[in-house]
């Protein structure tokens, strides 16, 4: 399960908008073409770019607003696939493009983030806490995670005592890794589920399975005005 926030700026007037959606797994996981658990990252990327994305909400003909029920439906559909009515309801809600990352380098990763991509990863490595604020790595069963941005400012490197960029990972399990000493003045308020790692550790995570995808753009979801947080951190 993932919560996705996409921030964009209208070029003609500089107005900031965001899409803030609680995406669900039912449509994606129900399209995995298998009755067994798990699915490939490539199939997931194909589903969100060609079939669509469901949300955690009540569609009227089916109620997916409860996380446990929504996950149960995705598991049940497996080989048979999600109902046609749900596919039709979600066909306008898609990711615009997904690219497999063949040779991840620090510059490529930062270029992708700079061009408003997020990076979905399939890996057997995840964060290991507590972090202060950077976390380490540990092995885990294969699963998907997402990276949403980076910070390579000299000020940040000096403060944290590193000589490389920081990459921000995001997961919807809540604050499952303890993060200490989060620098609000550098990064703003702590986003729930975020765990920052060094670029070198991010590349280790990505290269574990060599199955990472740059996800760009979102169609169909209704944008809303950003709150006026009154800080350059959000611009």
117-128/211-218 β-pairing: antiparallel
Q: Which of 225, 228, 194 is nearest to 8 (CA)?
A: 225
**Burial of residue 222, with CB atoms counted within 10 A of its CB: 0-12 exposed, 13-18 middle, 19 or more buried:** exposed
Same structural domain for residues 176 and 201? yes
Q: Degrees (nearest 5) of the Cα angle 189, 164, 175?
A: 35
Same structural domain for residues 47 and 74? yes
Average of per-residue pLDDT values in the chain: 84
pLDDT tier at 184 (50, 70, 90 boundaries)?
A: very high
pLDDT value at residue 175: 77
CA distance 145 to 121: 5
pLDDT value at residue 69: 92
Q: Widest CA span of the chain, in angstroms?
A: 54
Handedness of CA 56, 58, 59, 63 (dihedral sign): positive
pLDDT value at residue 27: 93
pLDDT tier at 223 (50, 70, 90 boundaries)?
A: low
Same structural domain for residues 180 and 112? yes
pLDDT tier at 174 (50, 70, 90 boundaries)?
A: low
Q: DSSP of 136-196, one letter per residue?
A: EEEEEEEEEEEEEEEE--HHHHHHHT-SS-EEEEE-TT-S-S-B-S--HHHH-SPPTTEEE
53-76 confidence digits (pLDDT tens): 898 899 999 999 988 899 899 999
121-135 confidence digits (pLDDT tens): 988 899 999 999 999
Tell me if 47 is assigned to some domain.
yes
- Tell me the whole-structure pTM to 2 decimals: 0.76
pLDDT value at residue 7: 43
81-100 confidence digits (pLDDT tens): 999 999 999 998 888 888 89
Task: Tell me which residue range forms the domain holding 66.
Answer: 2-96+219-230
Residue range 37-51: mean pLDDT, rounded: 87
For the chain, what percent of residues have pLDDT higher than 90?
46
Tell me if 116 is assigned to some domain.
yes
**Cβ 106 vs Cβ 199: under 8 Å:** yes
Does position 77 have pLDDT exceeding 70, yes or no?
Answer: yes
Which residues lie below 8 Å from residue 168, measured CB to CB, with a gap of 6+? 147, 148, 149, 150, 151, 194, 195, 196
Does position 230 have pLDDT exceeding 70, yes or no?
Answer: no
Helices 106-114, 199-207: crossing angle, 10 deg rounding: 100
Residue range 154-164: mean pLDDT, rounded: 96
Same structural domain for residues 89 and 103? no
Does position 6 have pLDDT exceeding 70, yes or no?
Answer: no
Neighbours of 94 (CB within 10 A): 19
pLDDT value at residue 4: 42
Q: Which residue has the higher pLDDT, 185 or 39?
A: 185
Tell me if 235 is assigned to some domain.
no
pLDDT value at residue 222: 59
pLDDT value at residue 159: 96
Element (H, E) at 68: helix 67-77
Q: How many distinct structural domains can be found in the chain? A: 2
Same structural domain for residues 209 and 223? no
């Amino acid at each position: 399960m993932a919560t996705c926030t996409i921030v964009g700026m209208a070029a003609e007037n500089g107005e900031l908008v965001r899409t803030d959606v609680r995406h669900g797994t039912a449509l994606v996981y129900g399209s995995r073409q298998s009755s067994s658990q798990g699915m490939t990252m490539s199939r997931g990327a194909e589903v969100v770019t060609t079939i669509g994305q469901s949300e955690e909400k009540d569609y009227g003909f089916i109620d997916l607003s409860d996380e446990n029920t929504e996950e149960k439906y995705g598991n049940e559909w497996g080989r048979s696939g999600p109902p046609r009515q749900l596919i039709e309801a979600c066909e306008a809600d898609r990711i615009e493009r997904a690219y497999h990352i063949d040779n991840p380098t620090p510059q490529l990763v930062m270029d992708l983030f700079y061009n408003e991509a997020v990076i979905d990863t399939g890996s057997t490595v995840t964060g290991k806490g507590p972090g202060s604020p950077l976390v380490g790595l540990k092995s885990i069963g294969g699963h998907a995670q997402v990276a949403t941005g980076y910070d390579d400012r000299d000020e940040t490197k000096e403060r944290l005592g590193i000589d490389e960029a920081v990459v921000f990972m995001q997961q919807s399990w809540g604050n499952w890794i303890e993060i200490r000493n989060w620098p609000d003045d550098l990064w703003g308020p702590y986003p729930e589920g975020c765990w920052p790692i060094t670029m070198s550790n991010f590349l280790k995570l990505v290269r574990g399975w060599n199955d990472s995808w740059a996800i760009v753009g979102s169609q169909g979801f209704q944008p809303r005005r950003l709150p006026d947080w009154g800080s350059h951190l959000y611009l």
